[in-house]
Amino acid sequence: MRVTRRRGFHLPSSAHGRLVLIVEDHPETRQMYGDYLRSAGLRVHDAADGRTGVEQAAQVRPDVILMDLAMPGLTGWEATRHIRRDPVLARVPVIAITAYGGVGFEFLAAEAGCDRLLTKPCRPLRVLREIEDILSARKKEA
């Protein structure tokens, strides 16, 4: 198996070229995660709000979605529920990312349809590891 080295992390070649949709309302955060994931060999699309995120997901059919939960307009919670109701997108893994943590947030994220929950601040390497882990788990299920 060919791997890519990225600051101590080995991305399996099976994850190369996989498409990640980043739905995040803060442009700097979107850019930071996008740059890092691209440098690791992933393809990236992004959206600045939940409504655009749902539209982009339907258009590009990502392999995984990184979803901020606290966004104005259509929140990440609501956007994830929309994605889960779409038969084409229903099985796309959603990794929620939020600055709000605490008791019950994992349950609420799971209830909305998120597969994982990360709490900000979250280093890009941690995000990359979660993406690789969830893609590997999905590959084993198939």
- For 48-99, the pLDDT digits (tens) are 999 999 999 999 999 999 999 999 899 999 999 999 999 999 999 999 999 8
End-to-end CA distance of the chain: 19
Question: Using 50, 70 and 90 to split pLDDT, how confident is the model at 12?
Answer: low
Q: According to the model, what pLDDT value does residue 57 have?
A: 98
* CA–CA separation, 114 and 95 (whole Å): 6
Phi, psi of 94, deg, nearest 5: -120, 120
Instruction: Taking residues 3-16, report their average pLDDT.
Output: 51
* pTM score of the predicted model: 0.88
* CA–CA separation, 80 and 59 (whole Å): 15
Residues sharing a CB contact under 8 Å with residue 68, sequence separation 6 or more, in sequence order:
23, 24, 25, 26, 29, 76, 96, 97, 98
Residues sharing a CB contact under 8 Å with residue 34, sequence separation 6 or more, in sequence order:
22, 44, 46
- For 17-49, the pLDDT digits (tens) are 899 999 999 999 999 999 999 999 999 999 999
3-state secondary structure of 94: strand
Q: According to the model, what pLDDT value does residue 142 have?
A: 61
Token digits for 56? Answer: 């982009």
Question: Using 50, 70 and 90 to split pLDDT, how confident is the model at 3?
Answer: very low
Domains and CATH numbers, the chain: 27-136 (3.40.50.2300)
